[in-house]
Each structure stands twice: as C-alpha cells, then as structure tokens.
Structure 1
Amino acid sequence: MDKLRPSMDEDLIKALKMIAPGTLLRESIENIVRSRHGALLVFAEEEQIAPLLSGGIKIDIDLKPMILYEVAKMDGAIILDPTGARIMHANVQLMPDSRIESQETGTRHRTAERVAKQLGVLAISISAARDVVSVYAGGIRYVMDPLRVVLSKADQALLTLERFKNRLNQVAATLTALEFREAVILSDVTSVIQRSEMVLALSYLIERYVIELGTEGRLVQMQMEELLANVREDMTAVLNDYLIDPTPKRVETAVVELAALPTDELISMERIAGILGYPPAPNMLETHVRPRGCRMLRKIPRLSGQAVRNVMEHFGDLQGILEAPVDELAAVEMVGPSRARDIKEGLDRLRDLDLLERYG
C-alpha cells in the first residue's frame, strides 16, 4: 500500500530548489518556455560529461538568463556545472548508452533521461511544442507544474491541513479531560497519535510545494508552520506518556515506525497500539491506561526537559504528580520551591479549565 507521507529523493529536492522561482535558472527556463524553442540542460562536472560529448562550443561563463536563452536557440544540448552557476558548453550532441531503458518518446526527453540515469546527474528537458518541463534526477522523472497550479494545490492542501489540525485539537482536548478523570483507554491515545501523523504527513506534501514555489512560497510556509506549532513535540510527549518502555531510544524508534506506516495501517488503531508496545488481545483498545504526566508537564512554563523527566520518574504517573504536596515536588532534583509552585498552580489551572469547558 502507498505510504501516507510522500517521499522525495534528496537529489530531486536539490534540483527543485535550484530551479525554484526567484533563481536565475528558473528565470532562464521560463524565458525558454515562452520562446517555444525547447532546450536540453545537463548539470555535470566537465570530466563526468566529457565521454558523452560530441561537437559544440566551449563557453565557460557565469550563468545569465539572457545568455542561456540565446544559446538555447541552437539545436544541441547545454552543459552547466553541477550548481548551475556556470554555462560550460552549448550546442553539443550527447551520446548516452542506448541500452538504458527509457519510456520517453521524444528525442530530447529520451536523451535527458538516459544521461541522468547513466551519470547520476540532473538533466532538464524543455519541450518546444507543449510547454512541458521535465526534470530528471538520477532515475527519477518529475514534470514541473505551472506556478499557478502549484499555488492552487498548496492552498487546497493548507485548507485540508487546517481541518486535520482542528480535528487533532478536538481529540487532544478529549484526552486531556480523560487524563484528569483517570478515564483514559488505549483508543483515546491511538486517536491522538493517528491524527498527529495525518497532520504531519500532509505537511510533508506542503513542504514539497514550498520548495517548488521558491520565493513565491513564503506565505504558504508561514501558514503551514503556524498550523504545525507543537504538533511534533506534543506527539512525542504522548509517546513518553503511553509507550510501554519510554526510553529515549524507544521513543525515537516509535516516531520512525509511525512515520513509515502505510495508509491502510495508519487507520488501524490496533497497529498503532502495537507500536506503543501493547500485545494483541481481545478488546485491547478498551484497556485502561495511565499517563505518566509528560504532556501536562510540558504545558508548564519554564520547566526544563530534564526537570520533567525527574518529576515523572519520582511520582510515576500524572495522578501521583497531581496529589503530591508542594514540598515533595520541591525536593525533586532540578525543581525546587519556585518551580514546584509553578507545577502545582499550572496543573490546577489546567484541571480547572477542563472543568470549565465541560460544565461551563
């Protein structure tokens, strides 16, 4: 099954950043698209591309959009250095290994794909007739969408992300209420983790759009970052509260395993419970569980991570922390009288807020 999180090869990410709006390369590509001349751009070291070159003109000058536009009027390929900062050759014929498989039908696109696969470099083919810009990064082919299309997709994804985040806030608020009432069952926990992963998965898709948008994607990125505030941290706190064995290594492993879940497994609460360390059993999701207090303690201002861990280890669970007198909290290492009062007052406020929301 497909994974919920879209994966992107590092070479492709690097390529999209190189040709994002606001860069000289993007300006050059747009000039060529508008002219309908077409072009084949290959980004490689001189010695790397030399065995495939035939003819052409050696230039070796800094990239300037108008120069690239002019040399693209010639029929041959254009060779740039790997960073795209310099134009090395123009009007060259490329002779990649014809045995390399290619699904492309056009000569320019087929050559670009074979060169990219043979040398493991970036190649860009710009169609003369169809305004199609194809990016080949090693064995990956990626067709660039027009800027307006990417912006539209990003806006739609942001609206969906907002809906996902609202639902996450709802299930997280429910978990908070149940924690104070000592009424948490395993399905309450897995619901929060599931919704957190759905929010994070969608954010990875939006990050790809931000890369493609370049300077045009700043507003999209700001909106995404606002919606993602504390999502990762809160999910890690939930794992610290409910993992069977919440060592730092186990928490890190659980984060990786959750991120790798295919779509059909992420919707399975039992699968998420298994990652938390709960063995399969009849009605396992009805199992009553007790929070250790990490998520609540994180809401207390000026309380360090180590102090949170010390309090959790000393009292064992959230109820023990809630019932602890101030002087016993103050005796915990790295807490002291001032922080102990902050913890007591902070947790009391959170409990009062929960009561107010439930009973008005």
Structure 2
Amino acid sequence: METSQLDTSAAEREQRYQDAVRNTAPGTPLRVALDMILAGHLGALICVGDTENVLAAGDDGFKLDVSFTANRLFELCKMDGAVVVDRDLTKILRANYHLNPDPSLPTSETGTRHRTAARMSLLTKAMVVSVSSRRSVVNVYVDGKGFQIKSVSDLLTTVNQLTVAMQNTRSQLDRSLLRLTSLELDNVVTLGDLTNIFYLFEVLLSAGGELNGCIVQLGREGKIAQMQRDEYLAGVDEAYTLMIRDYAADSSEEAAREVRRNLHDTVNTQLRSAKTVAKILGFTDDRGEDSIMTPLGLRTLSRVPVVREGMADKIVDEYGSLQEVLEAVDDDPSRLGKIGVKNPDVLANSLHRMWGKGE
C-alpha cells in the first residue's frame, strides 16, 4: 500500500511538472505575459494553483478577483510582491502579496526571489514562476524542482541539432538491421553485432526523448519537430523489443521490457561492452564479441507481410529458432500451414528472397 501511494505521489509530481512546462510554452497566455515582463525589464513572482495554501503562507497585498489576461498580469507585476493566480489560469486573486515561506526549507538558489519561489513550491503544490530583472531569466518551480525557460530561438537550435542526430542515427540503424537480417539467415550473428545495434537503438531513443522535451517546451511552435520525431522513431519500438526477445536468455515480453530498462540505464561506455550486453541479456557464461548468437527469428519473421500479428511467436514456438524455420521451409513449406500460416508458400518465397535464394 505504501509503495502504491509513493508511486501515485511521484506520478502526481511528474504531472504537475509537465503541466508547468505546457503552461509556460510559447503561445500560451502565461508565456505571453512572461515575455512582456522580460521585455519590460521587470522582476516578478507568480504563484499558480493551490491558492489556499499559497495564501496561507503570506499576507497583505491587494485582494482581486479579476479575469486573467497577459496584459493584466504584466501590469500587476510592476508592483512588488507576488501575484497569485488560480490553477486554471482564469482568475487573478492577489497582487503585491508578501510571501513568507519557512526559511528552513532547503534550496540551492541564491537570489531572494528565486529562493522564495523554490521554497513556496516545496511548501505548496503551486507552480511558482520567478523572473529575474537583472539577469533576464525566468525560472519555474514545482515541488522544489526548477527549470529555466528557454527562448524559442535557443530551443529551435537544439531541435535542429537533435533532428540531424536522429536522422543520421536512424540511417545507420536501418543499414545495420538490414545487415543483421542477412547475418541471421546465414546464422553468423556475433555478440559484437548485437552490441553495436543496441547502442544505436539507445542513441536514437535518447535523442528522441530529448527532442520530445524541447517539443513540449515549444508548444504550438513544435508541430514540425514532432512530425520529424515521429518519422525517425517509426517502427523502432517494436523492432527493438523483437530484437531483444530474439537474443535474450528469456524471450518473454516482460523480460524484454526489463532488458530495455537495463540497457537504457547503462552508461554509454558500458553499453558498448559486449560482456555487459551479454549480462543484461541474461547470459552468465563468458561471452566475447565474437561469440555466435542464434536468433529466434521473431524480428525477421515479423517483417514478412503474410505473417500476421502473433503468428511469428507461434512459428518460433513450433520450430525453436530461425534456422529451424528455414530448414522446415526448404523441406516442406506446407508444414507451416498446420500451425496457422495462411500462405506458407508466400512465406517460404519471402524468406528465400531475403536469404538470396529466390528464383
């Protein structure tokens, strides 16, 4: 029960953080106000949400109950103190409000305004925005965790770098997977081959994760970047999982998810180590880069159009490995029909063409 509550709390914190990123993205009313505040060389402290606890941590100021607009928020930030806004960003409730969070709450911030913002985010569930007039910097705090709002131009520069990296990595990955298929059909795949491909998968997915963070921060400006990201990651998730299942000691989907988590958490230098990858795949024997790895064939079989969803698993369960399937195809393709393959001859021809033995 305690673990479940902790997980829920962590999920709630992550949701608040994501909401904060979206609410301050370019094009949103709050971001418009923040841009105006920066342009006016003003400082500001803005609390959004959890208004009951926010108000309990301060005093004085002006009581308001007016509709939220970017212009109103900008004008009210010309006064000292904080501006208190409701969670939905529809009402401005206080202006020139003096916040007094517990000074013992931990924070690594140095400026008075940023320290107050960080402590208020620890004390309450509010999103707290701090604008530094001296440094022209906007920091957003949720649960004591802060991030600095970047300009659209800075974000787009990062996006361009990431999309180029993803494009190059995807090209390398596609070539490597095509080569892997040939090696699998010839039964000469080595642990070193797998290690290189797993590394490319992780580079691509990590870049995709970073790019997604930029896209969220860009708001409506990130549509094209989102389309590019989706294109570069198309089919990657399935191919990665199937490849892991092909070579892991335990080929179950649950085990594959655990292997993916472990690969993702492995530092780059170790991820390039064949011995490390073998251990993550569940092998306890001493395997080196040149060790031959026999695939089940799930990824390769799933690439054949006539192999419908779930059929690759049935074929592998029946024959045990890709090599056994190839032998069965050479011997008597009709045997595949007995386990539910509707077009065994088409499957046989497809595998032969992939193997370079087609007519």
Calculate the TM-score normalised by the size of structure 2: 0.90
Q: Distance in 1 between matches of 2:144 and 2:269?
A: 28
160-169 vs 228-237, greater mean Cα deviation: 160-169
Choose from 280, 301, 317 the match for 2:305: 301
Task: Write the mapping of 1:35-184 to structure 2, written as runs, cut at 5 A.
Answer: 35-184=40-189
1:230 aligns with 2:228: no
Q: Distance in 2 between matches of 1:172 and 1:289?
A: 15
Q: Distance in 1 between matches of 2:140 and 2:301?
A: 48
Once the 2 structures are TM-superposed, how far is the Cα of residue 347 of structure 1 from its aligned partner? 1.9
Q: Distance in 2 between matches of 1:208 and 1:22?
A: 17
305-314 vs 102-111, greater mean Cα deviation: 102-111
Task: Note closer, same or farther for the CA distance 1:103–1:253 as it changes in structure 2 (3 Å cut).
Answer: closer
Percent identity of equivalent pairs: 28
Q: Distance in 1 between matches of 2:300 and 2:82?
A: 61
Task: Note closer, same or farther for the CA distance 1:86–1:263 as it changes in structure 2 (3 Å cut).
Answer: farther
Is the CA contact (8 Å cut-off) linking 1:43 and 1:80 kept in structure 2?
A: yes
Once the 2 structures are TM-superposed, how far is the Cα of residue 302 of structure 1 from its aligned partner? 5.1
Choose from 339, 346, 355 the match for 2:350: 346
Is the CA contact (8 Å cut-off) linking 2:50 and 2:125 kept in structure 1?
A: no
Task: Note closer, same or farther for the CA distance 1:302–1:128 as it changes in structure 2 (3 Å cut).
Answer: farther
Q: Deviations over 1:14-56 (max 9, x none)?
A: 2111111121111111111111122111123232212212112
Q: Distance in 1 between matches of 2:354 and 2:91?
A: 59
Structure 1 spans left out of the alignment, 5+ residues: 1-7
Once the 2 structures are TM-superposed, how far is the Cα of residue 123 of structure 1 from its aligned partner? 0.8
1:263 aligns with 2:271: no
Residue type of the alignment partner of 1:264:
T
Once the 2 structures are TM-superposed, how far is the Cα of residue 9 of structure 1 from its aligned partner? 4.9
SS of 1:41 mapped into structure 2: strand
Q: Distance in 2 between matches of 1:224 and 1:302?
A: 29
Is the CA contact (8 Å cut-off) linking 1:41 and 1:79 kept in structure 2?
A: yes
Q: Deviations over 1:230-278 (max 9, x none)?
A: 1111111111111111112211211221122223322222111111112
Once the 2 structures are TM-superposed, how far is the Cα of residue 186 of structure 1 from its aligned partner? 1.6
Q: Deviations over 1:191-223 (max 9, x none)?
A: 211211111111111111111111111111111
Once the 2 structures are TM-superposed, how far is the Cα of residue 120 of structure 1 from its aligned partner? 4.1
**Which ranges of 4 or more aligned residues in structure 1 deviate by more than 3 Å?**
8-11
Is the CA contact (8 Å cut-off) linking 2:43 and 2:133 kept in structure 1?
A: yes
1:220 aligns with 2:198: no
1:23 aligns with 2:32: no
Task: Note closer, same or farther for the CA distance 1:263–1:60 as it changes in structure 2 (3 Å cut).
Answer: farther
SS of 1:286 mapped into structure 2: coil
Structure 2 spans left out of the alignment, 5+ residues: 1-12
Q: Distance in 2 between matches of 1:110 and 1:26?
A: 21
Residue type of the alignment partner of 2:348:
K
Once the 2 structures are TM-superposed, how far is the Cα of residue 106 of structure 1 from its aligned partner? 2.4
Once the 2 structures are TM-superposed, how far is the Cα of residue 61 of structure 1 from its aligned partner? 3.2
Is the CA contact (8 Å cut-off) linking 2:196 and 2:272 kept in structure 1?
A: no
CA RMSD after TM alignment: 2.1
Once the 2 structures are TM-superposed, how far is the Cα of residue 97 of structure 1 from its aligned partner? 0.7
Is the CA contact (8 Å cut-off) linking 1:300 and 1:342 kept in structure 2?
A: no
169-178 vs 291-300, greater mean Cα deviation: 169-178
2:6 is aligned to: none
Higher RCO, 1 or 2 (CA under 8 Å, sep at least 6)?
1
2:316 is aligned to: 312
Residue type of the alignment partner of 1:294:
L
Calculate the TM-score normalised by the size of structure 1: 0.89
Once the 2 structures are TM-superposed, how far is the Cα of residue 190 of structure 1 from its aligned partner? 2.0
Is the CA contact (8 Å cut-off) linking 1:270 and 1:280 kept in structure 2?
A: no
Q: Distance in 2 between matches of 1:162 and 1:105?
A: 41
Task: Write the mapping of 1:181-200 to structure 2, written as runs, cut at 5 A.
Answer: 181-200=186-205
SS of 2:96 mapped into structure 1: strand
1:330 is aligned to: 337
2:293 is aligned to: 289
Q: Distance in 2 between matches of 1:245 and 1:265?
A: 22
Q: How many residues align?
A: 344
